């Protein structure tokens, strides 16, 4: 249950963000997930629903997952290619001297907070 542990991390991060911004309730969380981040969006949102319901700050908050494409760079031919389709071997020149440029991100992009009535 990797995703569940990850969700607890997200909630902890959000608690810190909420404290900094004097926020008491969050209604939506947007996550950016690289294609090769090893986190499965569907599991993540399922675990989120379960865990978020138990926390006043995020109870009922929607989680939106944006996928970021994974791109690999080939050191031999200098070109880039989509990682998921071709893995570690460059489709242009067949080289294995490649490295991931992006696609393993796992970011909390933004949160939405209901506007509260101004206090007294």
What is the contact surface with other proteins in residues (CB under 8 A)? 1-2, 4-6, 9-10, 12-13, 16-17, 21, 23, 27-28, 31, 38, 96, 105-115
Under 8 Å between Cβ of 30 and 109: yes
Q: What is the CB neighbour count within 10 angstroms for residue 115?
A: 5
Rounded distance between C-alpha atoms, residue 110 and residue 52, angstroms: 16
Task: Supply the minimum distance, in Å, between the C-beta of residue 51 and other proteins.
Answer: 12
Task: Supply the minimum distance, in Å, between the C-beta of residue 46 and other proteins.
Answer: 15
Task: Supply the minimum distance, in Å, between the C-beta of residue 82 and other proteins.
Answer: 18
Distance in angstroms between the alpha carbons of the first and the last residue of the chain: 45
Rounded distance between C-alpha atoms, residue 105 and residue 120, angstroms: 42
Task: Supply the minimum distance, in Å, between the C-beta of residue 11 and other proteins.
Answer: 10
| Residue with token string 């990850």 | 6
Rounded distance between C-alpha atoms, residue 109 and residue 31, angstroms: 5
Q: Which is nearer to other proteins, 92 or 109 (CB)?
A: 109
């Amino acid at each position: 249950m990797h995703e569940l542990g990850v969700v607890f991390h997200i909630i902890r991060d959000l608690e810190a963000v909420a404290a900094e911004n004097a926020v008491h309730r969050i209604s939506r969380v947007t996550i950016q997930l690289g294609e090769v981040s090893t986190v499965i969006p569907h599991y993540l949102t399922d675990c989120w629903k379960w865990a978020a319901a138990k926390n006043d700050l995020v109870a009922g908050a929607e989680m939106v997952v944006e996928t970021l494409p994974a791109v690999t760079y080939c050191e031999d031919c200098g070109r880039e290619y989509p990682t998921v389709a071709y893995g570690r071997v460059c489709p242009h020149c067949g080289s294995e001297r490649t490295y991931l440029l992006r696609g393993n991100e796992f970011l909390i992009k933004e949160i939405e907070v209901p506007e509260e009535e101004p206090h007294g």
